[in-house]
């Protein structure tokens, strides 16, 4: 997959899946703006990209705020002049049962996972429409397709929102030659996953290793994803090879959910 000449914006790029996507895209030849609420970690991602010989930019922004999204896009445009691909990856959750969830959980989760994803998409599309070209890749989750092992119901609803938004945005932005797709990861070994496991282990009185082993038994292919497994799909969806693929939500989950 060749992304040379592309300018890419990756959100939540300070660690985990976002960082893996930023690095994989740089390896495929793209220049990358890496954004995160954690200004320190995103600087490390940007220097790793520069180490690969690509142009990079580290941006700190809280993507739950539309004003900060506007500032981030303006800073990116000032440096790179355009956005070819947006990887809408930043997200939050916490492990909790449905009856323990609060209004604060709803607001905190949907502020980033649904509102942030929508306004990043809309603001990036604003830059793409005049150029009649663009790719938008939203990182959803199999939680949005009914995965029984989801971290919580509010998170699942926020990822369902991302999948629906992807389909409607693909229809409405398609005439401008903008492809919009979602990737739905299953179990990915990141800080988010380790924290979910830690809480599950605490509540169930088991070790995190036991919890992980029992979760992996439910995966038909019997292994978890590394962040790079998600990045490989993202690189494909940003590449010329997927020019007629749009409005889809692809699982990368080892077969955990069958649809």
The least distance separating ligand NAD from the CB of residue 56, rounded to whole angstroms, comes to 16
Instruction: Say if CB 161 and CB 205 are below 8 A apart.
Output: no
Which pair of structure tokens corresponds to residue 172?
A: 């409405």
Q: How far is the CB of 217 from ligand NAD (least distance, A)?
A: 16
In the residue annotation, 155 being an active-site residue is answered as: yes
Residues between 59 and 78 with contacts to ligand NAD, criterion CB under 6 A: 61-64
Left (φ > 0), alpha (ψ -120 to 50) or beta: where does 132 sit? left
Is residue 17 involved in binding ligand NAD (CB under 6 A)? yes
Binding mask 187-206 for ligand NAD (x = CB under 6 A): xx-xxxx-------------
Are 184 and 160 within 8 A, CB to CB? no
Site for ligand NAD contains 23 (CB under 6 A): no
CB 140 within 8 A of CB 167: no
Token digits of residue 180: 């919009």
CB of 26 to ligand NAD, least distance (A): 17
- Interface characters, 125-164, with ligand NAD (x: CB under 6 A): --------------x-x-----------------------
Please report whether residue 46 would count as binding ligand NAD according to CB under 6 A.
Answer: no
Q: Of 118, 119, 147, 155, which is the active-site residue?
A: 155
Q: How far is CA 74 from CA 59, 78, 83, 125, in A?
A: 11, 6, 11, 13
Q: Which is nearer to ligand NAD, 176 or 236 (CB)?
A: 236
**Which contacts (CB < 8 Å, 24+ apart) does range 77-80 have?**
77/127, 79/33, 80/7, 80/31, 80/33, 80/55
Give contact residues for ligand NAD (rule: CB under 6 A): 12, 14-18, 36-38, 41, 61-64, 89-93, 112, 139, 141, 185, 187-188, 190-193
The residues annotated with a catalytic role in the active site are 155
């Amino acid at each position: 997959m060749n992304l040379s000449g592309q300018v890419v914006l990756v959100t939540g790029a300070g660690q985990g899946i976002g960082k893996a996507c930023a690095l994989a895209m740089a390896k495929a030849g793209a220049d990358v703006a890496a954004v995160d609420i954690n200004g320190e970690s995103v600087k490390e991602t940007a220097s790793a990209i520069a180490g690969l010989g690509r142009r990079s930019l580290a941006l700190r922004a809280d993507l739950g705020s539309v004003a900060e999204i506007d500032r981030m896009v303006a800073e990116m445009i000032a440096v790179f002049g355009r956005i070819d691909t947006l990887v809408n990856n930043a997200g939050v959750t916490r492990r909790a049962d449905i009856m323990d969830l609060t209004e604060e959980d709803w607001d905190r989760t949907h502020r980033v996972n649904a509102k942030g994803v929508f306004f990043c998409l809309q603001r990036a599309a604003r830059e793409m429409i005049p150029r009649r070209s663009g790719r938008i890749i939203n990182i959803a989750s199999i939680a949005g397709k009914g995965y029984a092992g989801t971290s919580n119901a509010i998170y699942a609803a926020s990822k369902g929102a991302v999948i629906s938004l992807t389909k409607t945005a693909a229809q409405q932005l398609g005439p401008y030659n903008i492809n919009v797709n979602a990737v739905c990861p299953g179990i990915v070994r990141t800080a988010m996953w380790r924290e979910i496991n830690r809480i599950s282990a605490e509540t169930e009185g088991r070790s995190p290793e036991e919890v992980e082993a029992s979760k992996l038994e439910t995966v038909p292919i019997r292994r978890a994803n590394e962040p790079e497994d998600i990045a490989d799909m993202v690189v494909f969806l940003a590449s010329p090879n997927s020019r007629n693929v749009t409005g889809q939500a692809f699982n990368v989950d080892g077969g955990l959910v069958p649809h």
